[in-house]
A and B are shown apart, each in its own frame.
Chain A
Amino acid sequence: MSDTPIQAGANKERPLSPHLMIYKPIPTMVMSILHRITGAALYFGTILVAWWLIATASGAGSFETAAWFFGSFLGRLILFAYTFALMHHMLGGIKHLVQDTGAGLEKDFTTQMAKLHPIASGVLTILIWIIGYVVR
């Protein structure tokens, strides 16, 4: 672990395999990364689900506090983003299930699907929120 010039130089010049910062972003790659990010977001979002459920089970007072938060502007913003994350992750997951069978792996097709992916996620998210307000 000594900092001899030879070692320091070797570390600097040692070639690295290409990674996120080196590759030019392409649609399939960006959607793959977003699948992971939305998965992680949904992971921490379960804290809100647990809070909502336990607040409801605890009584009217704690329910009202949770309902106030989720009904606030910030609460709705978080829920909207959470809906998008869920839709994006679900569509990505369905894509993975299809690809597990060996289907739909042609280069141009995967790129087209990757470009459509965020649009479809957005449309589904907005649709869910429209239904949410219409049904109310």
Chain B
Amino acid sequence: MANQNDMRTPLSRVRGLGSAKDGTEHFWRQRLTAIANIPLMLFFIWTIISLNGVGYEQTVAYLSSPFVAIVMLMVIGAGIYHMKLGMQVIIEDYVHGAAGKALLVANSFFAIVIGATCAFAILKLGFGG
């Protein structure tokens, strides 16, 4: 039975999206990318270790293997989405008003710029430079 003090409509209760209109989506995606990041970042560390002290030709050859390129795209995708969500929370916690809004925009732009740069580089290497 609905709480008598609950001012929400039955539809609003069923949707469960709250006042921000996206429910637990942020939390869920943060956790989803967090889980993905565990194996992906271990792969990334292994990649860097494998390429330690290796020259240009070998680095390009390594990064152009389809397997490495595909997983590296996922490293970048999950990693950057996760960090975008995390930085959003930091901004929402500490910066309020217009400055906060500006930083939220900057945060999204930063994530997209870094993501596009990395993705382009990985694809270029993957397709043979």
Contacts and interface: CB of A to CB of B under 8 A. Distances in A.
A and B assemble together: yes
Interface of A: 36, 39-40, 42-43, 46-47, 49-50, 53-54, 56-57, 60, 63-64, 67, 71, 83, 86, 90, 93-94, 96-97, 100, 128, 131-133, 135-136
B117 A86 contact: no
B114 A50 contact: yes
Interface stretch (B3-11, B13-21, B52-60): B52-60
A43 B83 contact: yes
B90 A132 contact: no
B35 interface: yes
Interface residues of B, number: 32
B109 interface: no
Contacts of A132: 48-49, 52
Contact of A46 (B31, B53, B79): B79
Given A63-B59, A135-B49, A43 B120 contact: no
A31 to B, nearest CB: 16
Contacts of A93: 34, 37-38
27 contacts: A40-B87, A40-B90, A46-B80, A46-B114, A49-B114, A50-B118, A53-B118, A53-B121, A56-B56, A56-B60, A56-B63, A56-B125, A57-B120, A57-B121, A57-B122, A57-B124, A63-B56, A63-B59, A67-B56, A90-B38, A90-B41, A93-B34, A97-B34, A97-B35, A100-B31, A131-B49, A132-B48
B108 interface: no
B52 A57 contact: no
Contacts of A50: 114, 117-118, 121
Contacts of B114: 46-47, 49-50
